[in-house]
Amino acid sequence: MSSSLIGVRDHVTTNDNVELVVESFGSTAPSATVVLLIHGWSGSRRSFKANAAAIAALSPNVRVVTYDQRFHGDSAKPEWGHHVARLAADLHAVLTTLNLADVTAVGTSLGCAVLWSYVELFGQERLGQLVFVDQAPLQNRVPDWELGSKGCYDTVSYAGLVRALNAGMKQFANGNVLACATLPLSADLLAVLEEDTLKCSADDLAALMYDHTAQDWRRILPRITIPVLNVAGAQSAIFPPEGVHVVGDLCVDGVNVTFERSNHWLYMEEPEKFNAMLLKFATDGERPSNGARL
C-alpha cells in the first residue's frame, strides 16, 4: 500500500470543458475508505487545511479527496455555470473521473446544497454516507419557513451582500471570518482563507449566491436513504441551529449533532473533534446519538 500525507494534486475536466483542481491525501489502495470534502461558498479545498491530511493520518486505509469548485480556488472560472445544479454536475465528474465509490461525502455550507442537488440529479450513485455541516435546507424566508439564513434571506439582504462583495474582496474576506468563526483560527489558516477568497470574483460569488439562496431542498431530503450525519454550530451566525436540524430530521436515516462552542466553520474551529467524529463515521459507520451536543 502506498500513501501520501502531502497532498497529491490532479485535475478533472467537466463535460463543459472546465478544469477543476483536485487534491488527495492518504492511501491509494483500491480498498481504501474514501472521504470527499466539499467546501462552501468563497472557500476552496484549502478550507480543509486542518482536516484533510489530519484525517488521512489517523488511519492507514483512508483516502481523503478535496477539490476546488468552479469559480473557487485554483479551478477555472468560466463565464457560465453559476448554479448549484452545475456544481452538482461537476461533483459527478469528480466522482466518475477518479472512479470513487461508496464515498463518505462531506458538504460544508454551499457544499451541502451541491450534494442535495447531486441526489436530485443522479440519485445516491457512488455515495455511501453523507455529512452535512451547518446549512439549512432553504436560505430565503418564505411563508412556511423562517429558519433560513440570518444574513442573506430576501432581495434586500441579498443586495446588501452584493454591496459588501463590491466594496472589496479583502475587506469581505475579513468580515467573513468574523461572521463564520467564534473560536480562534490559526494564523496560517487565516492567511489561506484570505488568499483563496481573493482568488474569487465578486461577480461570480454574487451570481452563485443568487441561485443558492433561493433553492428549497426540503422535498429532496426525504429521498436520501443512506446514513446521514448532520452537524450544526450552536454559535453559528449564519444559520439558526434549529433550521439546520431540519435537514437531519427530513433525511430517512439522519442524526443531528451540535457543536456547542462553534460557529459556521466548526470543522476549522474544532478540527480534532470534527476529524475524530468523521473518521469513526467513515470507517465504522459510528455516529453520536441523535441530538447529541458536543
For 60-99, the three-class secondary structure string (H helix, E strand, C coil) is CCEEEEEECCCCCCCCCCCCCCCCHHHHHHHHHHHHHHCC
- DSSP H helices in the chain: 52-58, 84-97, 110-122, 155-166, 169-180, 187-198, 202-212, 241-250, 266-269, 271-284
Kindly provide the b/e burial profile for residues 182-204, where b requires at least 16 CB atoms within 10 angstroms of the residue's own CB: beebeeebbebbbebbebbebeb
The C-alpha cell that represents 8 in the structure block:
497529491
Look at residue 4 in the predicted model and tell me its pLDDT: 58
Q: Please, which contacts does 86-89 make with residues 24 or more away whose CB atoms are closer than 8 Å?
A: 87/114, 87/117, 88/114, 88/115, 88/117, 88/118, 88/120, 88/121, 88/122, 89/14, 89/15, 89/121
Domain boundaries, the chain: 3-293
Q: How far is CA 181 from CA 123, 130, 231, 263, 265, in A?
A: 33, 23, 15, 5, 6
- What is the strand order of the sheet 228-233 is part of? 3-13, 19-27, 62-67, 33-38, 103-108, 127-133, 228-233, 254-259, 292-293
Write down the residue that cell numbers 470543522 correspond to.
Answer: 267
Return per-residue pLDDT of the chain as tens, 294 residues. 345 577 899 999 999 999 999 999 999 999 999 999 999 999 999 999 999 999 999 999 999 999 999 999 999 999 999 999 999 999 999 999 999 999 999 999 999 999 999 999 999 999 999 999 999 999 999 999 999 999 999 999 999 999 999 999 999 999 999 999 999 999 999 999 999 999 999 999 999 999 999 999 999 999 999 999 999 999 999 999 999 999 999 999 999 999 999 999 999 999 999 999 999 999 999 999 999 999
Look at residue 6 in the predicted model and tell me its pLDDT: 77
Neighbours of 252 (CB within 10 A): 12
Residue pLDDT, tens place only, 233-262: 999 999 999 999 999 999 999 999 999 999
Residue from 112, 153, 111 nearest 254 by CA: 112
Look at residue 2 in the predicted model and tell me its pLDDT: 46
Q: What's the CATH number for 3-293?
A: 3.40.50.1820
Structure pTM?
Answer: 0.97
